[in-house]
Chain A
Amino acid sequence: MEVPDQHLSAAAFEDLAMPLFDQLYNFARWLTQDTAEAEDLVQETYAKALRGFSSFQAGTNFRAWMYRILRNSFLSSRTGLKITVALDPDNEEHILPAETTTPESILLDQGDRAMVRQSLVELPLHFREILLLCDVEEMSYQEISETLSIPAGTVMSRLFRARKALRELLRKKIQGERHGL
């Protein structure tokens, strides 16, 4: 009797998926803003990924595949649905802050991390997630494109607008601090 294929697949899945555990949890926690929800989301992600592992195409990007499952699970959750209602992430110039960033106003060091974290929380979900994937998970534009299921050109423009929005939020916070607000 041979070892059934699904056993080999499950072993390979464990080997590929467990090293991603910490980073997937961090991403889930940023998306949900809640510890219990993040834990549920990660568990759901691993369960779905294991079930669907046979459909994963060898040679494609496993990390992007796992992130995509996690993100899609989040978007279809109650919290995710609430956040994403009626937003077209790539056509919303009207909600973007004005571009008035001054480099000297953004002197970020250890002490300002709390401010960056708070600004990140305040960003719309589609900006927060793309900044996390690029600057925290250090994904390439191609990987981000696969994870978010958007074209590479959209990755570039959305990243640009996300950074602009983050800079603007930080600028306002720094100015607010200076004025004792």
Chain B
Amino acid sequence: MACEEWIGKIDLYLDGELAAVEANAVGIHLRGCTACAAQTLERVQMKRAMHFAGKRYDPSPHLRNKIAKSIGAKSRPAFGWWKLGTVAAIILLVASGVLYSYFGRENARQQRVYSELADLHVTTLASSAPVDVVSSDRHTVKPWFQGKVPFTFNLPELQVSEFHLLGGRVTYLEQTPGAHLIYQVRKHEVSVFIFPERSGVSLPAGRKNELTFNVETWTQNGLRYFVVGDASPDDIQALSKLLQNAG
């Protein structure tokens, strides 16, 4: 298939509108075609920029209360003991609906965070300049972030490990600035993302497999760490341990 035909599928691929087999075929092509990968990178950036730019306006609490009151007032019948059973059933229904809705939203939000991290990892590695500070020396990389991110962090000593620090850059997650470090283990590149915990990126600690990437996350000293890459789960865990011990 010519590149023009693949490029015609990129938007559908990024919008999640391709069937699994077709999406897989596009993924394989992108890994081997730098021209199409560059197009994809541009469109991912555009989609991400649109996503954040479009979430701009928050309603006032006054409007929320007004609407909730207007629809709630009509929905609530006058209370009577004889209705207790029915009311209890309604409360149970609403509560389960609210809980379901809350957990559904929370799951969706967590999924969005992980997807965004996977995107950041892929688009950074596909970039011609993946890091802004190029150094294997943690004493060069860590000070570079001073004044660029609103926190500080420690990086591990790697001399006795198989990991190599390639450098770092400033990144953003849910509009919060953070540090993005790139390590190499054998031929795999692994991203380490660090954000302030207060940024609202609250997720349960643990391991996950996201879009075939292995991910480990935890909080430490008020910071949220993510380690993301296609390296083995053991390597991801080993790098996580090194970071935890340094922190």
Q: Which residues from chain A sit less than 8 Å from chain B, CB to CB?
A: 1-4, 7-8, 10-19, 21-22, 25-26, 29-30, 38-39, 42-43, 46-47, 50, 103, 106-110, 112-113, 116-117, 120, 131-132, 134-136, 138, 140-141, 156, 159-160, 163, 166-167
- State in angstroms the CA–CA spacing of A109 and B51 once bound together: 12
Main secondary structure of the interface of A (DSSP, over half): helix
Contact indicator B59/A25 (Cβ below 8 Å): yes
Contact indicator A136/B57 (Cβ below 8 Å): no
- Assess A131 versus B50: contact at CB under 8 Å? Given A2-B86, A25-B57, A25-B58: yes
CB of B101 closer than 8 Å to a CB of A: yes
Chain B positions 42 through 61: 1 when the CB is less than 8 Å from some CB of chain A, otherwise 0: 11011111111111111110
Contact indicator B63/A14 (Cβ below 8 Å): no
- State in angstroms the CA–CA spacing of A21 and B71 once bound together: 12
Inter-chain contacts of B67 with A (CB < 8 A): 18, 21, 42-43, 46
Contact indicator B55/A14 (Cβ below 8 Å): no
Interface size on B, residues (CB 8 A): 52
Pick from B9-17, B156-164, B220-228 the stretch touching chain A.
B9-17
CB of B94 closer than 8 Å to a CB of A: yes
- State in angstroms the CA–CA spacing of A1 and B46 once bound together: 58
- State in angstroms the CA–CA spacing of A138 and B49 once bound together: 13
Inter-chain contacts of A15 with B (CB < 8 A): 94, 97-98, 101
Shortest distance between the CB of A172 and any CB in chain B (Å): 15
CB of B77 closer than 8 Å to a CB of A: yes
Contact indicator A103/B172 (Cβ below 8 Å): no
Contact indicator B71/A17 (Cβ below 8 Å): yes
Inter-chain contacts of A110 with B (CB < 8 A): 172, 175, 177
Shortest distance between the CB of A42 and any CB in chain B (Å): 7
Contact indicator B15/A117 (Cβ below 8 Å): no
B45, B67, B68, B172, most chain A CB atoms within 10 A: B67
Contact indicator B75/A29 (Cβ below 8 Å): no
- State in angstroms the CA–CA spacing of A7 and B172 once bound together: 45
- Assess A43 versus B12: contact at CB under 8 Å? Given A13-B75, A22-B58, A120-B53: no
Chain B positions 72 through 109: 1 when the CB is less than 8 Å from some CB of chain A, otherwise 0: 10111100001100110010011001100100010000
Smallest CB gap from B87: residue in A = A3
